[in-house]
């Protein structure tokens, strides 16, 4: 009896694997036949409804002309894919990513409309991000005109850069996001899922609890000046957006701090005193952290 059970279990697994193989090959006809055989063999399997839903979606979209979809149609397709198909794709195991990636890429290729700040989830960069096509994410995000500092665009660039090149290469995109979208910074940290960055964030919160996330870059430079080496360019040289910096005190302080750290290498000077006075005028709380660190360094 035990051997019979093993045989039946083995047949059931084989049938399920055949369904998965057909879905991954985007062969809806074979998948339908496979699902029918699996249902006849094991009608109580919990994954049968998901196999049905995945194949129904495959039949509907595998031969569709995505180029004919307008923004509203893409929005409907994105919603269905995200809310109904993505959860079901778990029955495909690790291969679910490839099954979903095909459709995300097709939708991204169809999303040719200009960036809409009210519906960033429909932009090609977001859809390529879901497909984990990170080179295409960067390409699409870089092509956005007039909204380079929109939180969605900054998020796309930060995640794509991090996935392709790691934390050191992503310092500048992370800084930009912190300055322009501090309220969403914790969400970005969750998406990046970088243990070193998370440790830095926890340390920042413990030490600078009265400052919001826009101050994280300045704090990081203060505590870890070597981070400047990760930026590959001078922050002061990278940003000539003086008006923007003036609107964001934390950005202004960070740019100023770059110069102060450089001045400190030459010892005490009148210029250093003047720049420290400017830093204090921007934010006394951050200035206090700065001076505390200097007391420790030079004690």
Greater pLDDT, 230 or 118: 118
What per-residue confidence (pLDDT) applies to 77? 92
Nearest in space to 197 (alpha carbons), one of 170, 176, 215, 222: 170
pLDDT > 90? residue 32: yes
pLDDT > 90? residue 233: no
What per-residue confidence (pLDDT) applies to 68? 83
Instruction: Provide the whole-model pTM.
Output: 0.87
As a whole number of angstroms, the distance between CA 57 and CA 26 comes to: 10
What per-residue confidence (pLDDT) applies to 232? 59
User: For 144-159, what is each residue's pLDDT tens digit?
Assistant: 988 889 999 999 999 9
User: For 45-82, what is each residue's pLDDT tens digit?
Assistant: 999 999 999 999 999 887 788 888 888 999 999 999 99
Q: Measured in Å, how far apart are the chain's first and last C-alpha atoms?
A: 80
User: For 86-121, what is each residue's pLDDT tens digit?
Assistant: 999 999 999 999 999 999 999 999 998 899 999 999
What per-residue confidence (pLDDT) applies to 145? 87
What per-residue confidence (pLDDT) applies to 5? 44
Q: Which long-range contacts (CB under 8 A, 24 or more apart) does 95-102 make?
A: 95/20, 95/24, 97/132, 98/24, 99/23, 99/24, 99/54, 100/130, 100/131, 101/131, 101/132, 101/133, 102/26
Token reading at 38: 């699996």
């Amino acid at each position: 009896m035990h051997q019979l059970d093993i045989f039946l279990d083995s047949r059931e697994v084989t049938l399920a694997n055949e369904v998965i193989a057909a879905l991954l090959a985007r062969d809806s006809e074979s998948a339908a036949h496979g699902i029918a055989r699996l249902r006849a063999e094991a009608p109580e399997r919990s994954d049968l409804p998901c196999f049905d839903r995945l194949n129904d979606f495959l039949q509907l979209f595998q031969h569709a002309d995505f180029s004919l979809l307008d923004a509203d149609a893409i929005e409907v397709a994105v919603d269905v894919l995200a809310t109904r198909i993505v959860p079901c794709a778990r029955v495909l195991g690790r291969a679910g990513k490839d099954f979903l990636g095909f459709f995300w890429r097709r939708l991204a290729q169809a999303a040719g409309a200009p960036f809409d700040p009210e519906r960033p989830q429909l932009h090609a960069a977001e859809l390529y991000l879901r497909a984990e096509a990170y080179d295409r994410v960067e390409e699409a995000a870089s092509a956005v005109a007039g909204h380079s500092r929109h939180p969605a665009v900054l998020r796309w660039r930060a995640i794509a850069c991090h996935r392709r090149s790691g934390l050191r290469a992503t310092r500048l995109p992370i800084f930009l996001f912190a300055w322009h979208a501090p309220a969403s910074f914790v969400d970005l940290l969750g998406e990046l899922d970088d243990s070193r960055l998370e440790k830095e964030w926890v340390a920042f919160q413990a030490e600078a609890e009265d400052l919001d996330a826009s101050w994280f870059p300045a704090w990081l430079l203060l505590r870890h000046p070597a981070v400047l080496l990760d930026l590959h360019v001078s922050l002061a040289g990278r940003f000539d957006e003086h008006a923007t910096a003036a609107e964001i005190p934390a950005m202004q302080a960070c740019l100023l701090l770059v110069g102060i750290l450089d001045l400190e290498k030459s010892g005490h000077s009148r210029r250093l005193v003047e720049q420290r006075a400017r830093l204090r005028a921007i934010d006394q709380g951050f200035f206090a952290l700065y001076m505390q660190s200097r007391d420790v360094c030079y004690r």
